[in-house]
């Protein structure tokens, strides 16, 4: 579980996050949603320690992440996996070398043990046999899956995903969402996903936090989205005229 | 401007402290160091040899021209080519060239990794990126660049021979006599001191520029250019300081 308390972040004079408090639960897919510029990426970077909050606390279980030394932060990061928006795969390494990198760096496993673990992760993301391909030789969706495989290779307790569906077609997006969700439940990981993909919200939104202009505007789960009378949430979820028509039709039919 | 300089200097010192911290896993650093040695050493050999050959050849011809028909013995050409190459031209010109070739490459490589979020990805894995990405480059450079400098000195002296003996400026015996005259081993020590200091300067300055790059491809290009310009300026400055300190 990750708990954030009154997190504020300013860049020079501009306050990007204005006192956000929420909890990301273990074994659930926790979504941070919001329009571009709402502060989602800044919040995610604060959570993984790539940025330091101006004030407030971030608790990983009972440990206050904001009061740790660099070495202690690195120790926590051994329990963290992250999937980047652009996958951030190392271009000069093959798929296998990319996934093996954390094992090479932090474990003393034998070559066979490492290969077994890499193959298990590749199997988990349905990319068996892609070991020797380079990132440039696989599609965007496959790159995301390799990114997921790399992020789970050290069996993390926390998984962060920055817009995992960006640039993917709807079908592939669903595959990625399902993959993240099943890994989260299977390994009881605390997963935090930064997204503005509405399919993800409705499919895997176990716990949703809506950011608006640097503030927490709404919190709930996918089942509460339709019932909420929060205008900011409704404006965001049903932003397009098409979705608005669909929603009105559903309300008319009594489906929601 | 002054504040900017102090800010960068302070950040550079803190950066070096992080770079020289304990490696996570020595075998990974060893592999990376070997790769860097190959890139810096083998990858730069051709250009270093070509430039050194030219330096030696031109120095010999120009000095012969300066002597003209004076009473100074011709073998002095060999002596001057040897000393000027060992003391000054080999370390300085080799490192200026390497700042352009290796330094800009390092800045672009590390800056590109920063922009593609590779550095962030490693940081989140728990890797000390400053150490993992930069320490192997520094170690490789400290080993390989002095070697390149000594190859440069040897090839420079050979260049002097090739430009003066076959063309009839002097005989082979005179040239050999020249390069064996008044030899002071301390000059070799000076050459290695310069090579080592310049290697450290060009590697750390270039990596610093790449590591802290912000923005897009234009900023990456600017960082790469700054890496070369600042490395060159510092090499020239340290060249003077080392000359003063070691010849006092």
The yes/no answer to whether this complex scores an ipTM above 0.95 is no
Q: What is the pLDDT of residue A59?
A: 94
State the count of interchain CB pairs (< 8 A) between A and B. 51
Q: Is the pLDDT of residue A10 over 90?
A: yes
Q: What is the residue-averaged pLDDT of chain B?
A: 93
State mean pLDDT over B155-167: 95
pLDDT band at B154 (very low <50, low <70, confident <90, very high): very high
Nearest CA in chain B to A46: B124
pLDDT of residue B248: 82
The more confident residue out of A42 and A252 is A42
CA-to-CA distance for A165 and A141, rounded, in angstroms? Answer: 9
Q: In what order do the strands lie in the sheet with A2-11?
A: A14-24, A2-11, A55-60, A63-64
pLDDT digits (tens, 9 = 90+) for B201-229: 999 999 999 999 998 999 999 999 999 99
DSSP state of B23: P
Quick check: B195 pLDDT over 80?
yes
Optimal mutation site among B126, B130, B133, interface A, most CBs of chain A within 10 A: B126
Residues forming beta bridges with residue A10, ordered by sequence position: A15
Q: Contact at 8 Å (CB) between A90 and A101? A: yes
- Return the residue of A nearest to B28 by Cα: A105
**Average pLDDT of the residues in B125-143:** 94
What are the residues facing A32 on neighbouring strands? A194, A209
Confidence of residue A98 (pLDDT cuts 50, 70, 90): very high
Query: Between the CA of residue B124 and those of A33, A77, A83, A206, B240, what are the distances in Å?
Result: 22, 6, 10, 25, 43
Statement: residue A229 has pLDDT above 90: no
Stretch B36-52: mean pLDDT? 94
- Write down the number of H helices and E strands in chain B: 11, 0
| Residue B128 near residue A77 (C-beta atoms within 8 A) | no
Q: For A120-144, what is each residue's pLDDT tens digit?
A: 999 988 888 899 999 999 998 899 8
Q: Which residue has the higher pLDDT, B25 or B87?
A: B87
Q: Confidence band (pLDDT; 50, 70, 90) for A69? A: confident
Distance CA B99, CA B93 (A): 10
Confidence label for A82 from pLDDT (cuts 50, 70 and 90): very high
Min distance A211 CA to chain B CA atoms (Å) = 24
pLDDT at A256: 64
Supply the DSSP string of B193-219, one letter for each residue.
Answer: HHHHHHHHHHHHHHHHHHHT--SSHHH
Q: What is the pLDDT of residue B3?
A: 65
Pick from B116, B117, B126: CB nearest A106: B126
What is the mean pLDDT of the segment spanning B175-185? 93
Cβ of A50 and B128 within 8 Å?
A: no
B201 Cβ contact list (under 8 Å, min separation 6): B231, B234, B235, B238
For A247, B30, B53, B174, B175, the CA distances from B169, given in Å and listed in that order, are: 94, 49, 17, 10, 10
pLDDT above 70 (res B1): no
Task: Kindly report the backbone phi and psi dihedral angles of residue B224, in degrees, each rounded to the nearest multiple of 5, phi listed first.
Answer: -65, -40
What is the percent of chain B with per-residue pLDDT over 70, rounded to a whole number? 99
Can you say whether residue A34 is alpha, beta or left, with left for phi > 0 and alpha for psi between -120 and 50 degrees?
Answer: left
pLDDT tens digits for A160-189? 999 888 888 888 888 889 989 999 999 999
Classify residue A220 by burial, with Cβ atoms within 10 Å: 0-12, 13-18, 19+: middle
Pairwise CA distance, residues A63 & A57, whole Å: 10
pLDDT at position B209, please?
96
- Chain A segment 13-52 residues within 8 A of B by beta carbon are 48-50
B116 interfaces chain A, CB cutoff of 8 Å? yes
Which residues on chain A are in Cβ contact (under 8 Å) with B128? 74
Least confident stretch, A191-195, B24-28, B141-145: B24-28
Instruction: Please report the pLDDT score of residue B179 as a whole number.
Output: 92
Residues of A in contact with B125 (CB under 8 A): 77-78, 80, 101-102, 105-106, 154
Q: What is the percent of chain A where pLDDT is above 70? A: 99
Alpha carbons A222 and B158: distance in angstroms, whole number:
78
> CB contact, 8 Å: A11 with chain B?
no
The band of B24, judged by pLDDT with boundaries at 50, 70 and 90, is confident
Higher pLDDT, A95 or A236: A95
Q: Quick check: A102 and B124 CB within 8 A?
A: no
Identify from A70, A74, A99, A104 which residue to disrupt to test chain B contact, counting B C-beta atoms within 10 A and taking the largest count.
A74
């Amino acid at each position: 579980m990750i708990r954030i308390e009154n997190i504020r972040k300013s860049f020079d004079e501009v306050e990007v996050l204005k006192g956000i408090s929420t909890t990301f639960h273990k074994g659930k897919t926790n979504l941070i949603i919001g329009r571009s510029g709402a502060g989602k990426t800044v919040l995610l970077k604060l959570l993984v320690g790539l940025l330091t909050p101006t004030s407030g606390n971030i608790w990983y279980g009972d440990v206050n992440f904001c009061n740790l030394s660099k070495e202690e932060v690195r120790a926590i990061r051994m329990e963290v996996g992250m999937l980047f928006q652009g996958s951030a795969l190392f271009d000069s390494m093959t798929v296998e070398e990319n996934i093996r990198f954390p094992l090479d760096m932090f474990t003393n496993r034998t070559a066979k043990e490492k290969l077994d673990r890499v193959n298990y992760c590749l199997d988990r993301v349905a990319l068996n046999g892609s070991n020797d391909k380079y990132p440039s030789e696989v599609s965007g969706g496959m790159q995301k899956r390799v990114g997921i495989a790399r992020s789970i290779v050290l069996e993390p307790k926390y998984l962060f995903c920055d817009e995992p569906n960006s640039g993917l077609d709807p079908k592939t997006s669903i595959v990625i969402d399902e993959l993240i969700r099943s890994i989260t439940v299977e390994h009881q990981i605390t997963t935090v996903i930064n997204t503005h993909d509405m399919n993800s919200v409705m499919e895997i939104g176990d716990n949703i936090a809506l950011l608006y202009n640097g503030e927490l505007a709404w919190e709930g789960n996918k089942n509460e989205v339709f019932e909420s009378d929060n205008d900011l949430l409704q404006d965001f979820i049903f932003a397009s005229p098409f979705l608005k028509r669909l929603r009105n039709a559903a309300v008319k039919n009594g489906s929601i | 401007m002054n504040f900017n300089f102090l800010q960068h200097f302070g950040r550079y010192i803190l950066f070096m402290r992080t770079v020289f911290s304990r490696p996570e896993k020595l075998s990974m650093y060893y592999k990376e160091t070997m790769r860097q040695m190959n890139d810096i050493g083998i990858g730069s050999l051709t250009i270093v040899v070509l430039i050194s050959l030219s330096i030696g050849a031109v120095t010999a011809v120009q000095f012969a021209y300066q002597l003209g028909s004076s009473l100074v013995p011709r073998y002095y050409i060999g002596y001057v080519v040897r000393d000027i190459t060992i003391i000054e031209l080999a370390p300085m010109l080799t490192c200026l060239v390497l700042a352009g070739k290796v330094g800009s490459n390092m800045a672009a490589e590390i800056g590109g990794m920063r922009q593609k979020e590779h550095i962030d990805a490693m940081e989140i894995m728990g890797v000390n990126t400053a150490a993992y990405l930069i320490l192997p480059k520094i170690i490789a450079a400290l080993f390989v660049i002095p070697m390149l400098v000594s190859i440069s000195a040897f090839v420079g002296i050979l260049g002097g021979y090739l430009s003066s003996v076959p063309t009839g400026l002097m005989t082979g015996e005179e040239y050999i006599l020249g390069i064996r005259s008044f030899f002071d081993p301390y000059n070799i020590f000076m050459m290695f001191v310069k090579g080592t200091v310049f290697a450290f300067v060009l590697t750390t300055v270039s990596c610093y520029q790449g590591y802290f790059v912000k923005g897009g491809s234009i900023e990456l290009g600017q960082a790469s250019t700054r890496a070369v310009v600042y490395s060159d300026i510092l090499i020239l400055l340290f060249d003077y300081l080392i000359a003063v300190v070691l010849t006092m």
